[in-house]
Amino acid sequence: MSFDFSIITGKTIHRLLWENIAECVHRVEAAYLAHEDKQTLNPDSYFLRFPDMPKNRIIALPASLGGEADVAGIKWISSWPDNARKGFPRASAVLILNDLQTGYPFACLESSIISAARTAGSAALAAYWLNGRQRRTRTLGIVGTGLIARYIYTFLLQLGWEMESVHLYDIAPGEAERFATEVCRKERHKSIHVEPDHAQVLRASDIVLLATVAPAPYIHDAGLLAHNPIVLNISLRDVAPELVLQSHNIVDDVEHVMKAATSPHLAEKLSGGRAFVTGTLAGFIQGKCQVDRTRPILFSPFGLGVLDLAVGKWLYDRAMETGEAIHVPDFFFEMKR
């Protein structure tokens, strides 16, 4: 019996991922559908918090995914928001993959890229389905122009989305301007606008991406969503619960999203129930629920560990095929019972 252990570096993961964005999104969709059909185990995430550093946390996301992947594992991801001020991403992560026959881990993958990719895949999938299976919009608005926004925007373009204009805002000075000049593909849009505040972005946009590190809601004015946009509520805490209750609400998993003071969690507390939830994205794909443009449409994904497993196992398999996995001899050494 083999007890091999391999490491997959971020450089390798980055190259393999960007070679086939469509396959990444396909793996995310398959994982969502498997989760909807009870072919997964996805217990609650565990938050390690620090009393003397309340902004910082490390999260453990254990999961098991059946079907083609047939793997278990855990993502260990830290969030240090002040990293952004120092010029590097707030999040760092590793993903451990476990063999379901022996329980032994067989790989460790750099996972900040996997985490960003599965988030981008989730957002791109939701945008496509909630937009009537069309890959075009007149205006895309982005509030929070960090790494996650960069991945989602780039995924959309790689998947063939057409956007006449892009509207950008970030609370950090110069960040929206940097996104406009370094990330945005000017040849793909008629215009790119850096806005003075989030309100201008929301008013102008048919599809809105919220990708901030906001700890509490700051979008309270219902007039900002009066044109009934699709809101990709990726950062989860931007929208006031009163506005959540006035919207169609699609989530990734009802139980998971109702915690940690997310906007849906606050809406549950305010309303005393979960009747405001329209359904899950997988359920929407399967035709179990519907939305229309008579109200804003909010997609609020808490982030499922099974998505990390789906993308991570796919990239592990590709790295093994290409010979880019780094084998670690004798990682497991004392093997006599």
Please return the burial class of 54, using the count of CB atoms within 10 Å of its CB with bins 0-12, 13-18 and 19+. exposed
Q: Specify whether 282 is located in the same domain as 310.
A: no
Q: Specify whether 262 is located in the same domain as 292.
A: yes
Q: Specify whether 155 is located in the same domain as 281.
A: yes
For residue 41, give its domain range.
Answer: 6-114+305-327
**Residue with more model confidence, 303 or 336:** 303
User: Does residue 39 register a pLDDT over 80?
Assistant: yes
Q: Specify whether 166 is located in the same domain as 247.
A: yes
Is residue 138 situated within a structural domain? yes
- Cβ-proximal residues to 35 (8 Å cutoff; 6+ apart), any chain: 42, 253, 282, 304, 306
The 10s digit of each residue's pLDDT in 258-299 is: 998 999 999 999 999 999 999 999 999 999 999 999 999 999
- Cβ-proximal residues to 16 (8 Å cutoff; 6+ apart), any chain: 315, 318, 319, 322, 324
Q: Specify whether 71 is located in the same domain as 176.
A: no
User: Does residue 127 register a pLDDT over 90?
Assistant: yes
Q: What is the mean pLDDT of residues 173-185?
A: 97
Q: What is the mean pLDDT of residues 39-65?
A: 95
Contact (Cβ atoms closer than 8 angstroms) between residue 84 and residue 64: no
Is residue 124 situated within a structural domain? no
Is residue 237 situated within a structural domain? yes
DSSP notation for 179-225: HHHHTS-GGG-SEEEE-SSHHHHHHH-SEEEE----SS--B--GGGG
Q: What Å distances lie between residue 134 and 124, 156, 213, 235, CA to CA?
A: 11, 12, 29, 24
Q: What Å distances lie between residue 188 and 143, 192, 294, 330, CA to CA?
A: 20, 10, 29, 50
Q: Specify whether 315 is located in the same domain as 279.
A: no
Identify the three-state secondary structure at position 4: coil
Q: Specify whether 148 is located in the same domain as 295.
A: yes
User: Does residue 14 register a pLDDT over 90?
Assistant: yes
Q: Specify whether 171 is located in the same domain as 281.
A: yes
Is residue 120 situated within a structural domain? no
Domain CATH number, residue 231? 3.40.50.720
Structure tokens at 205: 């946009």
User: Does residue 1 register a pLDDT over 80?
Assistant: no
Q: Specify whether 190 is located in the same domain as 209.
A: yes
Q: What is the mean pLDDT of residues 122-150?
A: 97
Q: Specify whether 186 is located in the same domain as 95.
A: no
Domain CATH number, residue 62? 3.30.1780.10
Q: Specify whether 193 is located in the same domain as 151.
A: yes
Q: For position 10, what pLDDT does the model report? A: 97
User: Does residue 2 register a pLDDT over 70?
Assistant: no
Instruction: Count how many domains the chain has.
Output: 2
Q: What Å distances lie between residue 316 and 10, 29, 183, CA to CA?
A: 12, 18, 28
Contact (Cβ atoms closer than 8 angstroms) between residue 54 and residue 290: no
Is residue 248 situated within a structural domain? yes
Is residue 337 situated within a structural domain? no
Q: For position 100, what pLDDT does the model report? A: 94
Q: 249: pLDDT confidence band, cut at 50, 70 and 90?
A: very high
- Cβ-proximal residues to 272 (8 Å cutoff; 6+ apart), any chain: none
Which stretch of 78-82, 157-161, 321-325 has the lowest confidence by average pLDDT? Answer: 78-82
The 10s digit of each residue's pLDDT in 65-108 is: 998 889 999 999 999 988 877 888 888 999 999 999 999 999 99
Is residue 336 situated within a structural domain? no
What's the whole-number average pLDDT of the chain?
96
Is residue 126 situated within a structural domain? no
Q: Specify whether 138 is located in the same domain as 174.
A: yes
